[in-house]
Amino acid sequence: MKKRAAKKPRSRQKVLRGGRKRVLVVLFVPSVERDGTTPIDQQRWVDASLEMFGRVFGGATAYPKAKGVWRDDERGGALVMDEPVVVHCYTTPADIQDDSNLAALGTFCRKMGRDAHQGEIGLVVGDEYFAIREFGRSR
Amino acid sequence: MKTELDMDKIARGLGAERRGKVAAGGGYFGAMQLLADIQARFRVPSGGGRATDPSWTERRLLPLAPKTLKKLEEISAKVREHGMNVEPMQLAALLIEKTAERLSEEEAEDLVRPKRRASR
């Protein structure tokens, strides 16, 4: 008589189906406009991003400001000082690939890019960097 | 566990361009390391603009046949699949640079000399 394989517990199966929040989404909230000098209301955008990540993906963490500098070779090597805030959000593969969630995230990035006069909004999903540059479109 | 994500679908859903692979780590140090990596490679947050070769300081309009542009778009799309971001006209600039380095005066003259018609 054949032995039947023991059924795995339901909760375990759910975990293996990809229910765990194991995809890291990273958003960079800039401190200045694309001219490199005009400050933006960074705190407002950090709060707004946390609200959006909380509502859409269930949570997020904003880290303290980092200090950065880069040389803008397209403007005669001018040094641009920046203090971006990095926001981390862990989500599930299903949630990050959901059309309405992607639309909400994209809409937020475009609004921040447009209102804060950015050249580009940077986003990391998993192990890939995405750039949003066209802010006019609403999806 | 490796996370299988459809990055093209994510890019479409976000209205974003795929720019390349990064080593994203969790926690404060992971966040700072990732930020430094992205600022160094992509120069993102404040300056905007596409990641490019800093030595390309000159800009000119380049007339192209539609089929040439299509070809450049196809090749750059294939390159992007390997995680390296390049736009069609950046690829064109690279090709011009490489070809110009190798091209001799005689070869350049041959290129612009009117072709002789075949004898009738």
On whether both B120 and B61 belong to a single domain, the answer is yes
Split at pLDDT 50, 70, 90, the class of B12 is very high
Report the mean per-residue pLDDT for chain B.
73
Best mutation target among B18, B44, B80, B85 (most A Cβ atoms within 10 Å) is: B44
Distance CA B15, CA B9 (A): 10
pLDDT of the residue at A33: 84
Contacts of A80 in chain B (CB under 8 A): 46-47
- Residue B29 at interface with chain A, using a CB cutoff of 8 Å: no
pLDDT of the residue at B112: 77
Stronger pLDDT, A83 or B81, i.e. the higher one: A83
CB contact under 8 A, B32 and A23: no
Helix-then-strand count for chain B, H and E: 5, 1
CB contact under 8 A, B13 and A66: no
How would you classify the pairing of strands A78-82 and A23-29? unpaired
pLDDT of the residue at B55: 59
Stronger pLDDT, A17 or B109, i.e. the higher one: B109
On whether both B33 and B81 belong to a single domain, the answer is no
Q: Which domain holds residue B15?
A: 1-51
**Which residues have C-beta within 8 Å of that of residue B81, sequence separation ≥ 6?**
none
Mark which of B11, B32, B51 sits at the end of a domain. Answer: B51
Q: How far is CA A9 from the centre of its chain?
A: 34
CB contact under 8 A, A70 and B26: no
pLDDT in tens, B55-79: 566 677 788 888 998 888 888 777 6
Q: Among A84, A99, A133, select the one facing B13 at the smallest CB separation.
A: A99
Distance CA B48, CA B42 (A): 9
On whether both B73 and B114 belong to a single domain, the answer is yes
Is the ipTM above a cut-off of 0.90? no
Q: Percent of chain B scored above 90 by pLDDT?
A: 10
On whether both B46 and B29 belong to a single domain, the answer is yes
- Is B35 exposed, middle or buried, given 0-12, 13-18 or 19+ CB atoms closer than 10 A? buried
Split at pLDDT 50, 70, 90, the class of B91 is confident
On whether both B21 and B80 belong to a single domain, the answer is no
pLDDT in tens, B41-52: 666 544 444 455
Question: For chain B, what is the domain count?
Answer: 2
pLDDT in tens, B18-34: 888 887 777 777 777 77
On whether both B28 and B74 belong to a single domain, the answer is no
On whether both B46 and B64 belong to a single domain, the answer is no
pLDDT greater than 60 at residue B117: no
Q: Among B15, B24, B54, select the one facing A132 at the smallest CB separation.
A: B15
CA distance A63 to chain B (A): 7
Residue B96: other Cβ atoms inside 10 A: 12
Distance CA A32, CA A18 (A): 38
Distance CA A84, CA A112 (A): 14
On whether both B117 and B58 belong to a single domain, the answer is yes
On whether both B79 and B115 belong to a single domain, the answer is yes
Fold for A18-132, please state it: Alpha-Beta Plaits (3.30.70)
Average pLDDT across each block of 10 residues of chain A; the chain has 139 residues. List them in order: 49 50 90 83 96 96 84 71 90 95 96 90 91 75
Residue A50 has φ and ψ, to the nearest 5°, of: -65, -40
Amino acid (one-letter) located at B115: K
pLDDT of the residue at A98: 96
- Residue B84 at interface with chain A, using a CB cutoff of 8 Å: no
Mark which of B51, B66, B86 sits at the end of a domain. Answer: B51
